[in-house]
Amino acid sequence: MVQFAANLTMLYNEHPFLDRFAAAADAGFRGVEYLFPYDFPADALAEKLRQHGLTQVLHNLPAGNWGGGERGIAIMPDRVQEFRDGVARAIDYAGTLGCKQVNCLVGILPQGGDAVAAESTLTGNLAYAADALAGTGIKLLIEPINTRDIPGFYLNRTKQALDLIAKVGSDNLYVQYDIYHMQIMEGDLARTIEANLARIAHVQLADNPGRFEPGTGEINYPFLFKHLDAIGYRGWVGCEYKPKTTTDEGLGWFAPYKTEPAHA
C-alpha cells in the first residue's frame, strides 16, 4: 500500500515548524519531508521524529539564497565549492535524521547564461554528490519542475532528467517524480511512472490547477494510487500541496490511507 509523507514546508504551516511533526503524526502520517532542515539543529529535528514515530523520508541539498529567489546552485560554474560544501552539510543532517534520500534542486539558468557551461557544471556536480552520498548509503535525486511555477528552472521533463542521469553515469542518481509538475509539463502520468519505475525513487503530489490537495482538480488520484501499488512502487509519496483551507480540513482524501498515531 502506498505510504504517504507530510511535506511540513507546506502542510500545517498554520503551526510553528517544530509543532508540525506532532500534527502530522496525529493526522496519521508516518513519514515527513520538507525543503530544508538547516535552520534547526539536527538533534532537535531527530528528537521530534523519535518522539512522534516518524520517518524522515527526504530533504533537499542546500539551494543557495532561497529567500532571494535562488532555486539551486548545481548549474552555476562559479559556485562549485559552495555546492560541495552543501553536500557535506546535507550528509551530516541526513545521517542524524536517518534520511536515506536527498534531492538536488538544480537551479534557474540565468537569462543569457551559457547553457553548455551550466550542463557541464551540473553533470560534474551530480557525479560528485552521487558518489559522496553513496558512501553513506543515501540516494541522490533530481526533480523536474514546471516552467510555470519556476520560470527558467533548468530541469523540466522526465526524459531530460533520465538523459542527465545517463550522462552522469552513476547508479546512485534517481528521479524525484512530482505528479503535479509533470501533469503540467507532459501528462501521461501512469505510463511514464510505470515505464521509468526503476529510476524513480520518490513521488510527490498535488492536484492541478491550484496545487491544492487531491480531489480538488483534474488528476485522478485514486486511480494513480492503485496504479502505484499495482506496478510495485515501494517508495514514499510526499504530500507537497497547498491546503485549500486548512490542512486538517483538506485531509478527506487521506482517510482511506491513514494509520493510528505512534507517539513514543
- Euclidean distance between CA atoms 207 and 241, whole angstroms: 8
Intra-chain end-to-end CA distance of the chain, in Å: 24
Residue 255 identity: A
14 neighbors 247 (Cβ within 8 angstroms): yes
Cβ neighbours for 135, distance < 8 A, ≥ 6 positions apart: none
Q: Which residues are catalytic?
A: 143, 240
Distances in whole angstroms, Cα of residue 9 to Cα of each of 110, 122, 166: 26, 26, 31
**Closest C-alpha to 57, from 1, 120, 102, 9:** 102
172 neighbors 133 (Cβ within 8 angstroms): yes
58 neighbors 32 (Cβ within 8 angstroms): no
Cα dihedral sign for 123, 126, 132, 135?
Answer: negative
Q: What per-residue string of b and e applies to 37-76 under the rule 16 or more CB within 10 Å gives b?
A: bbeeebeebbebbeebebbbbbbbbbbbeeeeeebbbbbb
Q: What per-residue string of b and e applies to 157-173 under the rule 16 or more CB within 10 Å gives b?
A: bbeebbebbeebebebb
